[in-house]
Structure 1
């Protein structure tokens, strides 16, 4: 017995002829099936095509970005320009409005000054006429020797020499200080008045409160005759309880009052527009 007889051989065993035939038959069947399926496939089937997507290049991205930045800069510049123009227009409008306002104020001031000057000229003219008439009356009285004329002359002389004192002086001084101011219906100062507004304000300087309406003002105090007036007395036109106009007697046969819109506050002589009566509050 050989010493190597018990060692198994490492060679692969030969496949049997039957196994090889079986495998060949299976392979043949598979190939036949594939061939039949290929013949049965529709002849019109379109081949599959590939689609290629083009990606933007770096250069095109830079160009688009630059264009967008330029457009944004242009829009910002235009907006800034529009805002600047709007600001300039607003400034111009404000300047024009301010200049127009100043021009109107100056025109109003000049008109008021001219009105006041005209009123003063009229007052001086009337005062001159009054003085002339007084002188003529005095001469006539002295030449005729009539007692009534002498009495009238004496009354006129005493009235021209009256001097306001105390509270009456404060009232008269305030009234005269307003000469040249405008007349405005319902005005109570400080630069425009109506007749009763001026009288009320003048008496307030003496610490006396008067009603606002002329009819109520003329109803206060004691009634006095026009031949016995004293500075500070209230003159009225119309009935005492229903007067339509009031003024302040300032002495010397004159009064100060807010007459009307065309004259404003003026000083007049009693014979310019003779009042209906007078009352004394002091």
Structure 2
């Protein structure tokens, strides 16, 4: 046996003729088909071109990102501004409410103080009127007793003044009237004192400034009574004794005789 009888051959085994023929046939068929397709295609057919998708570049991505970041920053700033404004409005509302509450409390305090002051003034006025009425009532009682005893009977000039004043009872009241059948308060007093030869000023405030001031508890017939202040009186009448006076009151009553406590005078003056 030769030495190479067991060494395997490295040659590729030959293909059989049948396999080669089969492959040649297949290849021929393929080429034929291609040739037929090429012949059947239109002569002016456009070549097929491939389309590609364009991908965004890095530059456009950066621009979009920057725009998004800017929009986000603006939104954040706007939100912060809105929150700041809301906080300021809330603070302003709280301050306004506190100021309104404080102002209301101050107004209530002032109103209460005014009510208290008014109540005190009214109480003082009532007390003053009560004291005046009490004094006049005592004066009236004293005058009545004196009349009974003859101690307050008008004489001389006082008698002429009182008689004239009483004679006008029932006459009309006319503002500015000086008689003989209509009078105002100072016109009647002036005319009555003229009967005693005394010329008094025309207006009530000047008449009450004449003579000397006397107490309402020490009145004598012929004294001039006044209402208001002595130098600023707004009404005058004549004391006729017995706790009564005669005066031209107003258009509704005319010249009347009244008790002192019907409308208590503020004071009196003695001119005789």
TM, length-normalised to structure 2: 0.47
